[in-house]
Amino acid sequence: MKTIKSLFFSLFISATLLTSCTNDTVNDLPDMHESKAIQTAISQLSNLYHEDGTINESMNPSGHLIFDFCFEFIYPINLMYNNSSIITTNGNEELVEVLINTSDQLFIAGIEFPFNVAIYNPETNAVELLTIETENEFTNLLENCFFDTPCDCDDEFNPVCIEIIQNNQPLIITFPNSCYANCEGFTTEDFVDCGLTSCEDDCSLEEDPVCVEVLNPNGVYEIITFLNACYAACEGFTVEDFLDCDSTPTCGISELEIEIGETNCGDSYQLTVNFQYENTSSQEYFDIYLRNEVVIAQFQLSELPLTIEHFPLSGYENDYIKVCVNNNQDCCEEIEWSAPDCSPNDCTEEIIASYLVECPWDINASSGDYIYIFNSDLSFSITLIDNPYSTSGTYSLSTNTSGEIIVSMLEEFNDFNHVWTFSNCDFANLQVTSSDPNTNTIEINCSDDCYEFVFPIQMKLGGTEAVEVASNGHVDYKLGLGYEFIYPIALIINDEIILVYQGILEGVCGIL
């Protein structure tokens, strides 16, 4: 292989000398001009790096550009973008920045001649300087790089080393295995001792364990055991750091208890966790795991007893946690308990009917804001706020196959024949939708006083003359005698005065 590389190098030098004396095929490019060769070189060089500019280890087996790529630029070099702007790069790191920031719109299109590169000359076994003065010379150099025939080597790490000369000094190049070295033209006869020795090589295999306490990258203390003191010393520990492995206290958790608090029916509930612990070293943290080793979070021991406001329901009959101190799987305790029953209360037509007549309902729609008033006799009235318009009708309740309560309204002019669907019976969090696509919100409005009359108002009994009523007590008295209201009636609802033009009023504060 090395003979072949020597032949290629010799051919390249010959081609360089030949093209320096003729202009038959490729014109010399003086100073800064467009260069297909630099575009090719940039494209191939970018394969050695990730998009963020970090080294692609698989494409850099030796860690030396001359072998992993083909050559190395001698800086500074001047490069030209496709928009004719010029950038000077003073090192490989700056060139990598240029590589990762190129795009289809902005890319390197030229280079200033002459420039120098460092190449490996197998004839002299040395890194040598080569001056590239023309585009043709640059093209010849790239043609001898064999970018299209990469090494096909496995990832086995069995390093081999070769020694070359750079700057008149010996330099050891390490390849991950002999395959990569062979690809560069080296054979077994070229391999030298890598000198890969370590402190442990001088340690005996005598088993005399010593232990030390260390802080791992996760911020957790743990006990590390070495085969003997020599191996511990190789890692920088001294006798003062050693612990007696046999007497190292064992971490322990006991009396793990849970207490179920408020249940947020749906997906979580309040859970309080408490336990006793001992021999936790200098670490003060513990982790709580769910099933399948899913970690909720890490907490301080000082937080015990710990209340988790939204402990997730597992969906199983029993819920479960495992508590581990210091991320130590030898210092854990687990507990299982019956999950709280978060099934929603049965929702019935009777419950929704009571809600309907409890208070007025505020409806926000694209056509305006309305007040719906439901009565216990299955009649209802609708009033448009800030408008004399009002209408009335009847309603009915039913239950669909999904258990939802349906309120169907039949209004006298058929303009408000809507259907409301109640998906739950939770008064504080009612979920109700309307069949009317113009309806934005539906809300029950229960204040301490559902509404107030704007006195005086007028009432009458049958065909008798109207009488004036000026108090809530008087209204209740007249209603008890069978009197009816004379419309329109002014009411105060939500601190606003509205006129009700029809509908049945049952009582002073309650059911409209």
154/49 Cα distance (integer angstroms): 20
**Are the beta carbons of 392 and 374 closer than 8 angstroms?**
no
- Asked whether the predicted pLDDT for residue 282 surpasses 60, the reply is no
Helix residue ranges, H only, 144-289: 178-183, 229-234
Residue 65 is which amino acid? L
- Asked whether the predicted pLDDT for residue 175 surpasses 60, the reply is yes
Q: How far is CA 142 from CA 44, 107, 114, 136, 198, in A?
A: 10, 19, 16, 10, 40
Query: When comparing pLDDT for 358 and 405, which is higher?
Result: 405
271/291 Cα distance (integer angstroms): 16
**Are the beta carbons of 61 and 176 closer than 8 angstroms?**
yes
What pLDDT, on a 0 to 100 scale, did the predictor assign at position 509? 45
Q: Is 274 in a helix, a strand, or coil?
A: strand
- Asked whether the predicted pLDDT for residue 134 surpasses 50, the reply is yes
**Are the beta carbons of 48 and 63 closer than 8 angstroms?**
no
Residue 26: other Cβ atoms inside 10 A: 16
- Asked whether the predicted pLDDT for residue 302 surpasses 60, the reply is yes
Q: Tell me the range of 132-146, 256-270, 477-491 where mean pLDDT is highest.
A: 132-146
321/339 Cα distance (integer angstroms): 12
**Are the beta carbons of 232 and 209 closer than 8 angstroms?**
no
What pLDDT, on a 0 to 100 scale, did the predictor assign at position 202? 77
Among residues 258, 260, 290, 291, the alpha carbon closest in space to that of 274 is found at 258
Burial per residue of 244-278, b for 16 or more beta-carbon CB atoms within 10 angstroms, e otherwise: eeeeeeebebeebebeeeeeeeeebbbbebebebe
Mean pLDDT of the residues in the chain: 82
CA 297 to chain centre: 16
**Six-digit token string for 154:** 């496995």
- Asked whether the predicted pLDDT for residue 52 surpasses 70, the reply is yes
What pLDDT, on a 0 to 100 scale, did the predictor assign at position 273? 95
**Six-digit token string for 497:** 């005065």
**What's the predicted TM-score (pTM) here?**
0.37
Q: How far is CA 26 from CA 91, 134, 138, 309, in A?
A: 29, 9, 11, 77
Lowest-confidence segment of 43-52, 204-213, 257-266 by average pLDDT: 257-266
What pLDDT, on a 0 to 100 scale, did the predictor assign at position 389? 76
Residue 124: other Cβ atoms inside 10 A: 12
All domains in the chain, ordered by first residue: 2-154 (no CATH), 202-247 (no CATH), 252-338 (2.60.40.150), 349-444 (2.40.128), 452-500 (no CATH)
**Six-digit token string for 481:** 């005698």
**Are the beta carbons of 115 and 88 closer than 8 angstroms?**
no
Phi and psi at residue 107, to the nearest 5°? -150, 165
**Six-digit token string for 329:** 């799987």
Residue 483 is which amino acid? Y
Q: What's the pLDDT tens digit per position in 13-34?
A: 444 444 444 444 444 444 788 9
Q: Which helix (H) or strand (E) holds 46?
A: helix 36-46
What pLDDT, on a 0 to 100 scale, did the predictor assign at position 383? 86
Residue 115: pLDDT band (50, 70, 90) is: very high
Write the Ramachandran bin of 167: left for phi over 0, alpha for psi from -120 to 50, otherwise beta.
left
